Structure formats: C-alpha cells, structure tokens
Amino acid sequence: MCGRYVLVQKVEILERRFNVTVPSDFDFQPSYNISPGKFAPVITCENPRELQLFQFGMSPFWAKKKMYLFNARAEGDRNKDNNPQFTGAKDIINKPAFRKPIRSQRCLVLADAFIEGTTNEGLSKSFLVYLQNKERPFAFAGIYDNWVDESTGEVCNSFAIITTVANELMQKIPHHRSPIILSKSAERRWLNPKAHLSEITNLLHPYPSHLMNAYPISDEIKNPKSDGRNLIIQKGLKLQPEIQIKTYKELKLEGMGNRNKNTIENRHPDIED
C-alpha cells in the first residue's frame, strides 16, 4: 500500500518537468507527509497541460457518502495472497469503483518519494523509498473521480494511487505491495485518452528495484498532522548499495588538437538523498 508520500519541489520545477502550467489560484504547500484527505498536485487526462489540486483518497461518483480509497489494486480481486510472482489478469478493469476511471479518468500523481511501513508493523517501522540518482520528481499511476455531496452540492475531485505486486526492494522492507511508478516515456501514454485499454494495463507493473532505494525513518510519520524535513532523516542503513552514474568532461590530446570527450564513471559513494 502507499498511504504517505513526499512532494517538496517548487512549482516552477513541476512546470518544467511535466510541461504544464499552474493556474493563478493554485495553492499547494510542499509536504513531507501527504496523507489521505490532503490535497496534492495531479495532472489529468482531461486537462493534461495544467496542474490541479485533487484530494488524496478517491470517492467514486456513485458513492452515497465520501470515501477515501487511496490505493487501487491492479489485480483487483485476484492475487489475494499478494504473490510477487503473479502475472495474471489486471482485474482492476472490473472493479466497480475503478472500472470507469481506469478507462477514462487517469492521472499522474506527482511525488519526490514515498513512505512505506512493514507488512506487520505498518508505519511503526517506516522507510523512505526514493529513486536513485536523484530522479525526482516522478509520477505515480493514478486514477480519479468526481463526487458530488448531495447535501451541499460541493464537487470533490479525488484520486487513488494504483498498486501492484512488490518488487525486490519492497520485499526487503518487507512489504507486500508496490505503488506503480511510471517511466518518463510512459507518462504521456498514461494520459492519452485514446490509448487502448490493453496498452494501459500493460503499464501496470512494478518499477525496477535496482533503480530505487530505501532507508528507515522516524515513526513520527504516523501522525498525519506532522510535517517537516525531520520526518525523513535517515535512521539506519539503506536497504541496498547504490551506483551513481556521473558524467563529466575530460580533456584529451588526439592528433593535432584537443577535444572534449564525455565519459561515464560508476562509483559507489554514500549518497544523501
């Protein structure tokens, strides 16, 4: 499950990274502890060129009262034992709450990192999970819906993050699920309203674990009212070694002149993210 995540980037960086504009009334405060009920930036397939604020925790349009479905299982009712080797049908397309959104109401959920607890202890034993080589911000695969409060007429735009089987890193925590992180090349496909459903479900797989890492943090993250960088301070060893790929320029003498040549260096430094 993915019930907490981090987004602290400046709006200008989000605009450049995702090629979107920000409306004049956009009012998002960077947060180290985005939890269900809070409003956070998304990019929808209906309006792919604008950043919007939706509520984390989806309420289906048909619900009689507000719900907070913050995760949607890619397998639906299949794979109930959360076998990480499961490769069967993506039954999310048949779930009442998700079958309409997965077809026509998809969104990118923007993040810098996410928080996950162990399967047995939950957020009492929390880890910050991030992409290596400072790949941030990135986008979760999300779905959204528009729910109307019949008593007030208020419209609530809300979203859920899609999860799938645990990759190797999540199993080390250990946790039984992975939120689906989209590659940059997959982001526009996810937002394409004309994409075939099979093309969409083919994107519902775990992110490569060797491109991620995690380390333990304070259990203060459990309190949804808590915020601040102190929540993600590293409290123990990272779960796996890191490889930093660094590009630099080297001056070499070749023939009668000099030229710059790009080279790649692989190292294993201690990286603070």
| Domain positions in the chain | 4-241
What SS3 class is residue 222? helix
Task: Output the six-digit token pair for 246.
Answer: 């660094």
Q: Amino acid identity of 100?
A: K
* Per-residue pLDDT of the chain in tens (273 residues, 90 and over written 9): 689 999 999 999 999 999 999 998 899 999 999 999 999 999 999 999 999 999 999 999 999 999 999 999 999 999 999 999 999 999 999 999 999 999 999 999 999 999 999 999 999 999 999 999 999 999 999 999 999 999 999 999 999 999 999 999 999 999 999 999 999 999 999 999 999 999 999 999 999 999 999 999 999 999 999 999 999 999 999 999 987 655 555 544 444 444 444 433 333 333 344
Residue position matching structure tokens 């995540």 = 5
CATH architecture of 4-241: Alpha-Beta Complex (3.90)
Rounded-to-integer distance, Cα 108 and Cα 140, Å: 6
Between CA 272 and CA 234 the distance in angstroms is 9
Residue type, 179: P
- Label the pairing between strands 106-111 and 113-118: unpaired
- Burial group, residue 216, by CB count within 10 angstroms (0-12, 13-18, 19+): middle
| 8 A C-beta contact, residue 172 and residue 237 | no
Residue 16: which H helix or E strand, with range? helix 11-18
